[in-house]
Amino acid sequence: MKPRRALATFAVGFLLLDAVLLGYAGAELKRPSLVIGAALCVLLAGLVVVGWRRYRRVLVELDAARRAIRAEAESIRALLESHHLRN
């Protein structure tokens, strides 16, 4: 598992564990503030997942752009070489 993915997985797991424990404590102790904290942890875990997916999508787009630039550079090189050989 790559370090960045491991960090995101750890963050989601930690937030979900916090949510479960806060939710349980809030229900047992009848403290709505703990239940609200649990809901916030679930929300934050969802935001980490959404952010990770967006990050991966951006990386794929950057990779495609790099390949396109590399192909364009190769075609320019080939054009310059063919022009140089004619003269």
Question: What length is written for the chain?
Answer: 87
- Residue by residue, DSSP assigns 22-62 as HHHHHHHHT-HHHHHHHHHHHHHHHHHHHHHHHHHHHHHHH
Q: pLDDT band at residue 1, thresholds of 50, 70 and 90?
A: low
The domain of 72 spans 3-86
Q: Say if residues 12 and 49 touch (Cβ distance below 8 Å).
A: yes
For the whole prediction, is pTM greater than 0.75? no
Nearest of 60, 45, 41, 59 to residue 9 by alpha carbon:
45
Number of independent structural domains in the chain: 1
64-80: average pLDDT: 94
pLDDT (average), residues 41-61: 95
